[in-house]
Structure 1
């Protein structure tokens, strides 16, 4: 079954890393360490056949939200909800079980300290197959 892992980080930390990159051309050491972890995990999950895809997202300042308005769709700047944590990346995995997807997410949390939301893909409303 496929699962999406949504990785979140602290908005202030992300802004600080982006500012450092803009001024020095270098990422903070903790970001580089996280990148190394993700590269190793990607290789491992590719070898096990569980990796489908992953992408990092641009900063929330570049996000736009489209909502229904009285005169039609309305576009506003920023993500849907104001939050101290922002969505930074996603990965889609094809795992044998929900528990396996949660094990992988736990490894990400251990390595980065950031939150990871795990959701099954494609089941729609109603009971989910395990």
Structure 2
């Protein structure tokens, strides 16, 4: 079954890609994924919220605004798409994600 992990954190303290690559916590997370046999089948780190564009359609009119969709300190900074056995395993994997201890990781099943 596929699940999306929405990786949320405070953008003002988010690590750079180089810091993430060198962080032993991320390396341990990768080892845990391998141990479980879970597969990351997609994902990406997202650009900062300052680069976001929000689109809404109201009464047939397309409204476009700069910035994020919500006023919040935490932002969705990236996604991982997992293929794993069930929700329990997806939750266990999310709990091991390094951002779960600083921000949060939202788990959502994918419609298939």
What TM-score bracket applies, with the shorter chain setting the length?
Answer: 0.7 to 0.9
Tell me the TM-score normalized by structure 2: 0.79
Tell me which stretches of 4 or more aligned residues in structure 1 moved more than 4 Å.
109-112
Q: Between Structure 1 and Structure 2, which shows a larger proportion of helix residues?
A: 1
Which runs of no fewer than 5 residues in structure 2 stay unpaired?
A: none
Per-residue deviation, residues 44-80 of structure 1 (Å, max 9, x unmatched): 5367252211200000000000111456201100111
What CA RMSD, in Å, does the superposition of the two structures yield over aligned residues? 2.8
Q: How many residues align?
A: 109
Distance 1:49 1:8, change over 3 A: closer
**Matched residue SS, 2:78:** strand
Q: Between Structure 1 and Structure 2, which shows a larger proportion of strand residues?
A: 2
Tell me the TM-score normalized by structure 1: 0.69
More relative contact order, 1 or 2 (CA 8 Å, 6+ apart)? 2
Matched, 1:38 2:38: no
Which runs of no fewer than 5 residues in structure 1 stay unpaired?
A: 18-26, 124-130
Task: Find the counterpart in structure 2 of residue 3 from structure 1.
Answer: 3
**Between Structure 1 and Structure 2, whose CA radius of gyration is higher?**
1
